[in-house]
Amino acid sequence: MKKTSTRLADGRELIYYDLSDATVRTAADHRPLEPTVTSSEIRHDPLLGDTVAIASHRQSRTYHPPADQCPLCPTRDDRLSEIPDSSYDVVVFENRFPSLAGDSGRCEVVCFTPDHDASFADLGEEHTRLVLDAWTDRTAELSHLPSVQQVFCFENRGREIGVTLQHPHGQIYGYPFTTPRTALMLRQVAAHKRATGGGNLFDAVLERELADTRVILTGEHWAAFVPYTAHWPYEVHLYPRRRVPDLLALDEAARAEFPRIYLELLKRFDRIFGEQEPPTPYIAAWHQAPFGRPDGFEGVDRDDFALHLELFTTRRTSGKLKFLAGSESGMSVFINDVPPERAAERLREVASS
């Protein structure tokens, strides 16, 4: 992997990640951009203990532009974009409309491919490994920022999810706090550790899941299953078999196997509802341990956390979506219409031959 860092016309950082060490990046951003102005504010909810980011500037972000005006395609001829060069392998840049910025963290965009009409599942294994290396590098870099406590790499795909740009891309958030979902996991991990005299909850969960009927895909270093308490109609959790706290701690064997496993999962998601359906909308979310020791979790170390990816879709059947209605949105109690056992069976049925 070759890494080349540059600056866009408004001062934001952009990094090219190339497969070939011989690639040279010299293109400049010639757009007449003013410096980016953001208004991100972090507010703490005293009743729930939640944190909310207020980011009013995002109201003016780019919304479903025509394909010939996509800001994530490479710059070609007189069509200037966020990527100055005429092609790229993988590129990461600071979001022009960030939810978090400055003392409130950082938001980055990850473009997986220059092909506007492709998807992550269309990438080859070598290219997928490059994306993994880019995620890992950005996790390392953002972890050194004083304003960042937790790094979250994720992909949203599909209009149904709320994506406003159709080009294959993901995002990376550097939160200045431990997210509520991670805090819940850490509390459960701490309680289990006390109750068992040092046992690890993630290890116990993985062992239980691998012994059940909802396993859909395994390798020497990775395992994927539909969880017993799946919240979403089709939800898969992907774990390294050796517990590590973050992407940085993956060994070479796990990194080498990941592309094959992950691409197969994404291809199965595209086949769940049949070839006549539009591409399956999904969210793919990496859960990593916070950096440092969050307040309130005495006795829990970073190494007690288990890196894992959660992949799920909001589509529950052909032509129908799972909406977060009264129980889910009002009380955070999910009601799943698809039994996890049936979801796992379906995900095995659509395996590549």
**pLDDT confidence bin for 295, thresholds 50/70/90:** low
* CATH number assigned to the domain comprising residue 192: 3.30.428.10
Residues 45 and 27 in one domain: yes
- Counting other chains too, the contacts that 200-204 makes at CB distance below 8 Å and 24 or more residues apart are 200/243, 200/304, 200/306, 202/239, 202/243, 202/304, 202/305, 202/306, 202/308, 203/243, 203/306
Residues 168 and 211 in one domain: no
Q: Which residue has the higher pLDDT, 58 or 291?
A: 291
- For residue 113, the enclosing domain spans 2-175
Residues 212 and 122 in one domain: no
Residues 267 and 229 in one domain: yes
Residues 19 and 48 in one domain: yes
| Among candidate residues 123, 116, 131, 137, the one with its CA nearest the CA of residue 5 | 137
Residues 197 and 313 in one domain: yes
pLDDT value, residue 342: 97
Q: How far apart are CA 87 and CA 10, in angstroms?
A: 21
> At which of 132, 157, 175 does a domain end?
175
Examine the pLDDT at 137 and tell me if it is beyond 90. yes
User: Could you give the number of structural domains in the chain?
Assistant: 2
Residues 120 and 204 in one domain: no
Q: How far apart are CA 202 and CA 197, in angstroms?
A: 15
Residues 211 and 85 in one domain: no
In sequence order, which residues have a C-beta less than 8 Å from that of residue 135 and are 6 or more positions away?
Answer: 110, 153, 172, 247, 286
> 90 vs 31, 64, 118, CA distance in Å?
21, 22, 13
Examine the pLDDT at 37 and tell me if it is beyond 90. no
Q: Which residues are tagged catalytic?
A: 169
> At which of 140, 175, 210 does a domain end?
175
Examine the pLDDT at 315 and tell me if it is beyond 80. yes
Pinpoint the alpha helices (H) of the chain: 125-143, 180-195, 201-210, 252-271, 331, 340-349
Q: How far apart are CA 145 and CA 174, in angstroms?
A: 9
Say if pTM beats, i.e. exceeds, 0.85: yes
Q: What letter does residue 300 receive in the DSSP assignment?
A: -
Examine the pLDDT at 155 and tell me if it is beyond 70. yes
CA dihedral 309, 198, 185, 52 (to 10 degrees): -120
Residues 106 and 224 in one domain: no
Q: Which amino acid would we find at residue 18? A: D
Residues 221 and 132 in one domain: no
pLDDT value, residue 34: 84
Residues 193 and 249 in one domain: yes
Mean pLDDT taken over the chain: 94
pLDDT value, residue 275: 80
Contact 45, 51 (CB under 8 A): yes
**pLDDT confidence bin for 296, thresholds 50/70/90:** low
pLDDT value, residue 71: 95
Tens-digit pLDDT profile for residues 45-92: 999 988 999 988 787 677 678 888 999 999 998 899 999 999 999 999
Bridge partners of 93, per DSSP, are 14, 109
pLDDT value, residue 116: 96
Examine the pLDDT at 173 and tell me if it is beyond 80. yes
Residues 203 and 123 in one domain: no
pLDDT value, residue 80: 94
